[in-house]
Structure 1
């Protein structure tokens, strides 16, 4: 069994960062619906650029509000995919790797730090293979010894045949 500590750490760091982003958007979204906040922003926009009308400013805020709502829903979906992948790392590494790569590619426009962490963890899950410890941890049995002796006997008889065969050299 291969240890997947690095992949788990990268995945969970990305999940925590994504969760912080989701919470920030969730806290900011109610402000967009607050009329006092809208009036303050509209007034500020008109002070900075006199060409903005109140209607233009309100439309811009409505578009911004819908973008934040879409981003919040999108971020929650990506967060759920990443959490599922992180919980599957020990059981189904290949599936977890594919899910993390999907979450990373999908979230690359939103939060590229998470995307990089998840893509790296996903690639590591797909590429890393367990070490082959046939010689280190193998328990030798009597059958293994017989097989080894058989190979030695075959080698010895092969060398005897070479010496008996005068025409070989």
Structure 2
């Protein structure tokens, strides 16, 4: 039985996770370039008097921490997706692949606070299809 649909969904999910990792990398880059970020945040603070200097520092620190978390979780999800697709190739271990897809999607969605939910949807659909689809039985008569 061919598992083309599951592999395609896995590839799409991995690409979306790669974009999420790039977003996390951009967040870390912003934290490391404080002058650019502080300039834009100070302009916002001038318009909104409720934001204080301490709040800006806390936002910059949270941006860096969240960026690292998002980048690492997304890279791990891409790696696990590739492992699941390799196991799926040739219909070798579809049950293991399905479990890897579903577990990865759920864990990354929880760890990233929902930021990985879009890519996780592709992984969940691929995982369910891996678990549900059975090879056709040949009827001997």
Q: TM-score band (shorter)?
A: 0.7 to 0.9
**Bigger radius of gyration:** 1
> Which structure shows the bigger proportion of residues in helix conformation?
2
Residue 36 (structure 1) aligns with: 35
Tell me the TM-score normalized by structure 1: 0.72
Gaps (5+ residues) in structure 1?
139-169
Give the SS at the match of 1:133.
Answer: coil
- Whole-angstrom distance in 2 between the partners of 1:104 and 1:97: 11
How far has the Cα of 1:10 moved from its partner?
0.7
**CA-based RMSD:** 1.7
Tell me the TM-score normalized by structure 2: 0.85
- Native 8 Å contact 1:42 1:58 kept in 2: no
Gaps (5+ residues) in structure 2?
none
- Native 8 Å contact 1:82 1:100 kept in 2: yes
Give the SS at the match of 1:89.
Answer: helix
Give the SS at the match of 1:71.
Answer: helix
Residue 88 (structure 2) aligns with: 89
Larger RCO, structures 1/2 (Cα 8 Å, 6+ apart): 2
